[in-house]
Amino acid sequence: MPDAFDLIVLGAGPGGYVAAIRAAQLGLKVACVEKRPTLGGTCLNIGCIPSKALLESSELYHLAQARFQHHGIQVGKLGLDLPRMLQRKDQVVKSLTDGVAFLFKKNRITPFTGYGRLVGPGKVQVKPEKGATTDLEAKHILLATGSEPTPLKPLPFDGKYLVSSTEALAFDKVPEHLIVVGAGYIGLELGSVWARLGSKVTVLEFLPKILPQNDGEVAELLHKSLVKQGIAFRLEHMVTGHSVKNDQVTVEFENAGKKQTIAGDRVLVAVGRRGCIDGIGLEEAGVKVDAKTGKVQVDEHFQTTAAGVYAIGDLIAGPMLAHKASEEGIALAEYLAGQKPHVNYGTIPSAIYTAPELAAVGLTEEQVKAAGTAYRVGKFPFSANGRAKCMDQTEGLVKVIADATTDRILGVHILGPRASELIAEAVTAMEFNASAEDIARICHAHPTLAEAVWEASRAAWTVALHA
């Protein structure tokens, strides 16, 4: 007889494992199917966590090279132990994936290793790499299989010369010339890692600007900063092909109608991600996928077009972010338990871990203009912030966009030190429909980076004090 559960989750990433834990906390009998031998999905194994570990290590290396002397610290001859750096990254990953396994055990969640597939109403078949299949049954099934790198036809992944973010997290040596195709957050983050460690990095982008989803003014400031750091950008370049010879990759592209080439020893293809929907039985189960977007169709409760089957995270519409998937997983678990949860998609933050970092929540200035909303903008540079000066990290600014009539905060964009942490105040404020005046009237500790958020809010409401 098949094993019976209240909920079967396909995928143990930030959406799936969080949904499984929350459902178990609420009293449901839960199983979770994961193709990898370790839990945590792309994020913990080959995405968010290992990339941030390398970003942190490479930033420390860069600071020791270029900035420690400003603080009166003499380090002598500096060396790079890349194997040790990669080992540390792997240790961080293991500690966190082990942590998820502990939480599964603590909450009595039954894990299954293998490929899960819908095989009938309320039925899932799990096929491991080796051995017999396992049949499972449940009243509810959650699809949380995440996403994978989107391939680019002229540059098919080969795992050595033409690589995805997975391989770019584990190069056995620092590339002499790394070509990055795609100026989104993945390309910029991993390009930054290897540039700090000594690579020449060239970014090829089809569009006329980097980070097209971000506020244009702030993205342009980051672009200029990365150029100063030595990363070269070639915008409006369409890749058309490649060739490999003598351990070198030559990428062919067109710009303004002219055919050109560029050669490097590794090419990172980072043009986006797509949902992992192949082979999980969607069509047979009656789960509809939007033909244009490739996204699974769901209603406001994450219900797909198949009864009892739900989907969250990168499989459905919305930003492809780990924390967005987690919020949806929690909401789905609580809904199944009879509660009435809600996900506010207008206050989901984003963060890009370059140096300086870029974080944002809400609308960009371009979006506010397009909506025809009257608005005010308040800005405050980190060059005028006392804590940033003490840290010797004064690049960037905080930008607050507020409704001109109501003063309600519409969007906050931060480029600067610890932006990924600072954005939380803006998220909290917007979640409670705060105005720029509300943040401006909150007492902020001095000296802190958060004072820049306070000053930008003052500027959007009336006028900044220290600018």
Mind telling me the catalytic residues?
A: 446
In whole angstroms, what is the distance from residue 194 CA to residue 337 CA?
46
| Dihedral in degrees, nearest 10, Cα atoms 222, 220, 185, 429 | 80
Question: Residue 164 in contact with residue 269, Cβ under 8 Å?
Answer: yes
397-403 vs 409-416, strand pairing mode: antiparallel
Q: How many angstroms separate the CA atoms of 322 and 44, rounded?
A: 10
DSSP 8-state code for residue 147: E
The torsion region of residue 401 among left (phi > 0), alpha (psi -120 to 50) and beta comes to beta
**How far from the centroid of its chain's Cα atoms is residue 442's Cα?**
30
Distance CA(410)–CA(377), nearest Å, equals: 10
120 beta partners: 123
Inter-axis angle of helices 419-431 and 450-461, nearest 10: 50
Helix, strand or coil, per DSSP, at residue 212: coil
Q: Report the distance separating Cα 226 and Cα 233, nearest Å.
A: 9
